[in-house]
């Protein structure tokens, strides 16, 4: 299935520009993502220099333009008048042939996907409908559907989610999504199960020690959900190419990782490929009455990135970790969870996971309209406060170097290497 992915604010700008311009096509920068013979065009920020263009025009008859400029990667034609609400598109392949675009995906509140009219195919390829339309599944999830609405629930369970890090928080979140009826999950984590993982992690047993975490969690999902989701397991770090490709194929990224190198890698993929990113971090620090327990749950939508919406605790160190395999390997060799923090609590993770899932539900139900950061803190009396920071302004006021690559897709990867070189020397 070929698709065009556009952040909702950018699509609104497309419509405004089209209404203000005389007949003819407008040009906007797009990045590209391709995998297994499928092509995805990704809207970059208007004005960015990615080097590929999308032609945008009204159409009055279902006819594609007779020719394409050399830098044109695709076209989107929107209906007006009697054809209002209809759209048609095409992507140009490396062979120069045209293939139809099947779907327009609007990233942001609602996460709507719109089937495009097909001239070259017998009928539109709709996104695979989830089991939600059958009477049995409507009964099974009737309480959830009652709370979210049928359409929002179907959009929620029809997306593919990448879970980056499937430790305590990540595995708990994966299970929560599977129990809601989510049909497609990709689990990414290079670690194996160790004895200290067993304590409060859901669904792991002593028999799992030594097993890959992604495989152990996949097995628990198969037995813990009424309708097991289709699970792709990637036992590699998110910094590796295979994991990047797997995340690229997902609609939404969720990072529940334990270090900022992986957090930064997830932020880079989210920015390049225009994906919402839910980042969850929990912490237990100190001793006794002075012990601090808290969590940061950030839902970052295209238009911002994790670096300019709260940032990382030690961004310089995170860039160094991404710079080379040796740096990452050295980090893992030195990593000792007891030195990093006082420990972790399932109760705290569940608070953070609950808030994270709620943000996802409200994003897809169109209640969350912008990037949202929930900061949870338990004080010395055990009382919980939740605050909503607005993101830390960049001190130097310069444009965010990662946001400048938003929507560049695979064309942005060499630029990320340049950033790595610049930041790690």
Positions 306 through 345 that interact with Zn ion (CB under 5 A): 307-308
Report in angstroms how near the CB of residue 24 gets to Zn ion at its nearest: 33
Report in angstroms how near the CB of residue 404 gets to Zn ion at its nearest: 8
Report in angstroms how near the CB of residue 305 gets to Zn ion at its nearest: 3
Cβ nearer to Zn ion, comparing 96 with 398: 398
Binding residues with Zn ion: total (CB under 5 A): 6
Cβ nearer to Zn ion, comparing 267 with 280: 267
Residue positions counted in the chain = 425
Cβ nearer to Zn ion, comparing 334 with 397: 397
Cβ nearer to Zn ion, comparing 76 with 305: 305
Cβ nearer to Zn ion, comparing 318 with 402: 402
Question: Terminus-to-terminus CA distance in the chain, angstroms?
Answer: 41
Q: State both tokens at 422.
A: 């610049």
Cβ nearer to Zn ion, comparing 256 with 305: 305
One symbol per residue from 151 to 190: x for binding Zn ion (CB under 5 A), - otherwise; what is it?
Answer: ----------------------------------------
One symbol per residue from 273 to 312: x for binding Zn ion (CB under 5 A), - otherwise; what is it?
Answer: --------------------------------x-xx----
Report in angstroms how near the CB of residue 369 gets to Zn ion at its nearest: 19
Q: State both tokens at 6.
A: 């556009």
Report in angstroms how near the CB of residue 366 gets to Zn ion at its nearest: 24
HEC-encoded secondary structure of the chain:
CCEEEEEHHHHHHHHHHHHHCCCCCEEEEEEEEEECCEEEEEECCCCCCCCCEEEEEEECCCCCCCCCCCCEEEEEEEECHHHCCCEEEEEECCCCCEEECCEEEEECCCCCEEECECCCCCCCCCCCCCHHHCHHHHHHCHHHHHHHCHHHHHHHHHCEEEEECCCHHHHHHHHHHHHHCCCEEEEECCCECCHHHHCCCCCCCHHHCCCEHHHHHHHHHHHHCCCCCEEEEECCCCCCHHHHHHHHCCCEEEECCCCHHHHHHHHHHHHHCCCCEEEEEEEEECCHHHCEEEEEEEEECCCCCCCCCCCCCCHHHHHHHHHCHHHHHHHHHHCCHHHHCCCCCHHHHHHHHHHHHHHHHHHHCCCCCCCEEEEEEECCCCCEEEECCCCCCCCCCCCCCCHHHCCCEHHHHHHHHHHHHHHHC
Cβ nearer to Zn ion, comparing 148 with 300: 300
Report in angstroms how near the CB of residue 406 gets to Zn ion at its nearest: 8
Cβ nearer to Zn ion, comparing 125 with 400: 400
Report in angstroms how near the CB of residue 401 gets to Zn ion at its nearest: 8
Cβ nearer to Zn ion, comparing 299 with 403: 403
Positions 345 through 404 that interact with Zn ion (CB under 5 A): 400, 402-403
Report in angstroms how near the CB of residue 52 gets to Zn ion at its nearest: 21
Other Cβ atoms less than 10 A from the Cβ of 385: the count is 10
Report in angstroms how near the CB of residue 266 gets to Zn ion at its nearest: 13
Residue nearest to Zn ion (CB): 400
One symbol per residue from 51 to 70: x for binding Zn ion (CB under 5 A), - otherwise; what is it?
Answer: --------------------
Work out whether strand 384-387 and strand 372-378 pair parallel, antiparallel, or are unpaired: antiparallel
Cβ nearer to Zn ion, comparing 191 with 315: 315
CA distance 203 to 136: 27
**Exposure string over 267-281, b if 16+ CB within 10 A, otherwise e:** bbbbbbbbbbbbbbb
One symbol per residue from 207 to 246: x for binding Zn ion (CB under 5 A), - otherwise; what is it?
Answer: ----------------------------------------
Cβ nearer to Zn ion, comparing 158 with 303: 303
Q: State both tokens at 52.
A: 């590929």
Report in angstroms how near the CB of residue 177 gets to Zn ion at its nearest: 27
Report in angstroms how near the CB of residue 53 gets to Zn ion at its nearest: 23
Provide the binding-site residues for Zn ion, judged by CB under 5 A: 305, 307-308, 400, 402-403
């Amino acid at each position: 299935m070929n698709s065009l992915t556009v952040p909702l604010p950018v699509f609104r700008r497309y419509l405004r520009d089209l209404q203000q311009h005389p007949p003819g096509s407008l040009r906007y920068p797009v990045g590209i993502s391709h995998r297994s013979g499928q092509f995805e065009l990704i809207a970059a920020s208007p004005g960015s220099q990615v080097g590929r263009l999308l032609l945008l025009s009204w159409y009055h008859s279902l006819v594609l333009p007779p020719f394409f400029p050399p830098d044109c990667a695709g076209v989107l034609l929107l209906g007006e008048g009697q054809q209002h609400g209809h759209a048609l598109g095409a992507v140009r392949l490396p062979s120069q042939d045209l293939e139809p675009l099947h779907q327009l995906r609007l990233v942001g509140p609602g996460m709507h996907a719109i089937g495009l009219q097909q001239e070259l195919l017998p009928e539109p390829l709709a996104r695979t409908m989830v089991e939600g339309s059958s009477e049995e599944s409507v009964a099974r999830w009737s309480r959830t559907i009652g709370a979210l609405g049928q359409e929002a629930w179907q959009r929620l369970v029809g997306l593919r989610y990448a879970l980056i890090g499937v430790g305590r928080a990540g595995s708990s979140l994966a299970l929560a999504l599977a129990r809601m009826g989510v049909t497609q999950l990709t689990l990414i984590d290079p670690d194996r199960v160790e004895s200290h993982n067993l304590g409060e992690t859901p669904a792991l047993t002593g028999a799992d020690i030594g097993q890959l975490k992604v495989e152990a969690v996949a097995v628990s999902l198969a037995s813990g959900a009424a309708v097991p989701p289709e699970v792709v397991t990637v036992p590699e770090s998110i910094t590796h190419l295979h994991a990047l490709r797997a995340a690229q194929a997902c609609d939404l990224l969720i990072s529940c990782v334990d270090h900022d190198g992986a957090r930064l890698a997830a932020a880079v993929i989210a920015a390049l490929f225009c994906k919402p990113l839910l980042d969850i971090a929990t912490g237990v620090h100190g001793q006794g009455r002075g012990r601090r327990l808290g969590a940061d749950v950030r839902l970052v939508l295209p238009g911002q990135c994790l670096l300019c919406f709260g940032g990382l605790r030690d961004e310089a160190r995170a860039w160094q970790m991404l710079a080379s395999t040796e740096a990452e390997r050295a980090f893992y060799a030195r990593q000792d969870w007891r030195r990093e923090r006082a420990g972790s609590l399932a109760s705290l993770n569940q608070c953070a996971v609950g808030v994270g899932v709620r943000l996802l539900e409200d994003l897809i139900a169109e209640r969350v309209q912008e990037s949202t950061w929930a900061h949870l803190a338990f004080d010395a009396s055990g009382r919980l406060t939740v605050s909503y920071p607005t993101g830390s302004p960049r001190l130097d006021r310069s444009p965010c170097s990662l946001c400048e690559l938003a929507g560049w897709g695979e064309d942005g990867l060499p630029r990320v290497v340049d950033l790595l070189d610049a930041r790690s020397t």
